[in-house]
Structure 1
């Protein structure tokens, strides 16, 4: 199966994003549909992965940034039936290496997929990093 990646926000299928994030994302199922819609609308950059034959969205990544030197990567997923086609790597390459933030300091929070993110330069934080945990679930 062929896939294409696109960073056009107008192409994002909000129902697909909401469907996965509200049921399968261990990191943010507490968010409402209005929350997800607001995050999509205010994102600095979004990247979608789509079936080339149907245009169906099968993967997603979102970033928040100051647009100058810092970006936060969030909500990365590939639908289970489309895994195994290197779409996670392609999403990360399109978002980070091929995008306007390729030289930024990037951060993310994840409980899994460390091997994927390490391929794109992510590592455990050093002594300069501090985090205030969420109070929302």
Structure 2
């Protein structure tokens, strides 16, 4: 999938994703700032990803974890600060929601500040139903 939006390329071609740029942004985010870079690399390798490029710059990203049958989790969605306010985030989320294989699947995501964006694409707030388990470390994982 490739979509041109203004001068931005939105693509699911993983070879076009600059993992260093994704890691650089995520280390500044509130949701992944403690995630080791090697885990982000592994997450990208094992997920469906969509990147946003402006020329040769990686300026946006979204990652989907799914079984492609019943469920998907949308995560690590961002647009660089200097490219916000141009509709790129909306176009990025719309591109994810237009992936035919995700149609009919239950979607989940977490956000502190972008509820309005996701509500436009069918997500509803459901804080009473979902639970999360933070990473647990054992002797085996150190």
TM-score by length of 2: 0.85
What are the Cα deviations for residues 29-49 of structure 1, in whole angstroms up to 9, with x where unaligned? 111110110101111x11111
Residues 81 and 131 of structure 1: CA distance in aligned 2, closer, same or farther (over 3 Å): same
Paired with 2:121 and 2:132, the residues of 1 have a C-alpha distance of 24
- Asked which structure has the greater RCO (Cα within 8 Å, sep 6+), the reply is 1
Question: Structure 1 residue 46 and structure 2 residue 21: aligned?
Answer: no
For 1:109, the equivalent position in structure 2 comes to 110
Instruction: Please tell me the root mean square deviation across aligned C-alpha atoms, in Å.
Output: 1.6
Paired with 1:126 and 1:40, the residues of 2 have a C-alpha distance of 27
Paired with 1:61 and 1:132, the residues of 2 have a C-alpha distance of 20
Question: Structure 1 residue 2 and structure 2 residue 3: aligned?
Answer: no
Shift of 1:100: 2.0
For 1:130, the equivalent position in structure 2 comes to 130
The answer for unaligned runs of 5 or more in structure 2 is 1-5, 137-142
For 1:15, the equivalent position in structure 2 comes to 20
For 2:3, the equivalent position in structure 1 comes to none
Q: Which runs of 4+ in 1 moved over 6 A?
A: none
For 1:32, the equivalent position in structure 2 comes to 36
TM-score by length of 1: 0.88
Shift of 1:99: 4.2
Paired with 1:101 and 1:7, the residues of 2 have a C-alpha distance of 14
Residues 6 and 72 of structure 1: CA distance in aligned 2, closer, same or farther (over 3 Å): same
Residues 66 and 96 of structure 1: CA distance in aligned 2, closer, same or farther (over 3 Å): same
The answer for unaligned runs of 5 or more in structure 1 is none
Alignment length (residue pairs): 131
What is the SS of the residue equivalent to 2:107? strand
